Amino acid sequence: MTIIRPYGDTTGDGMVQLSFTLPIPHDKRAEGAAIQLANKMGMDPALLVHAKQMGDGFTFFVVYGRVHHLVDTEKVQVVERDFPLLSAKEVNATIKRRLRRRLNVVGACIGTDAHTVGIDAILNVKGIAGEKGLEYYRELSVTNMGAQVSVPDLVETARANKADAVLVSQVVTQRDAHLHNTRAMSAAFREALPAGKRPLLIVGGPRFDELMTDELGVDRIFGRGTTPGEVASYLVHALLSRKEKETAQ
């Protein structure tokens, strides 16, 4: 069966929970507005289960209700992992044997983004959830530029370090800042370096759509839950694939 509907209390009942904020003080009219919005979004019936004032003039709501939409799982588009997942030992051995030099990585949070938790989880030795970051890999040379890095500084550091890959984390998403910053970065690298000399451009963050690589001008997008091992494995796969293509030409 490829057609599914949401599950709430019983299988196939179509019940979902939705949270949102409206720019209105909390009162009965605000609660009515929340229900009206939920109805217009296709929730019928819609039940208000939580409402809380969020500062002056804003209210946060949680609404529970039934939707009648169906999902065809055969038509769902996702980015599947198309490279083998390697251990740290295998990554190091492959780089040493095939690349015959250390693999250079530069990472940063660009623009006004000061949220370094994501980039640090991937790059720093301590890593995340018990998995070591890229600094732990002896065949990787890692430069973590930290937060609020300008695109020109990132390009210059990548050039100076002869970066094989540039990793950028973007958490700030207001007004699509993560998309604008990524497009500016990819454009800057295209302008500064010829195609054969450009590093892999990799971005990550909770609000990215992994299908937007071509639109944003990057090589790979990683979403929530990405581990350092996945990134390291991708770097090895992508760089060696690029090297093989260059050799064949």
Q: Which residues are catalytic?
A: 126
Distance CA 75, CA 70 (A): 12
HSE-CB of 110 using CA atoms within 13 angstroms: 27
Please state the three-class secondary structure of the chain as a single string.
Answer: CCEECCCCCCCCCCEEEEEEEECCCCCHHHHHHHHHHHHHCCCCCEEEEEEEECCCCCEEEEEEEECCCCEEHHHCCCCCCCCCCCCHHHHHHHHHHHHCCCEEEEEECECCCCCCHHHHHHHCCCCECCECCHHHCCCEEEEECCCCECHHHHHHHHHHCCCCEEEEECCCCHHHHHHHHHHHHHHHHHHHCCHHHCCEEEEECCCCCCCCHHHHCCCEEECCCCCHHHHHHHHHHHHHHHHHHHHHC
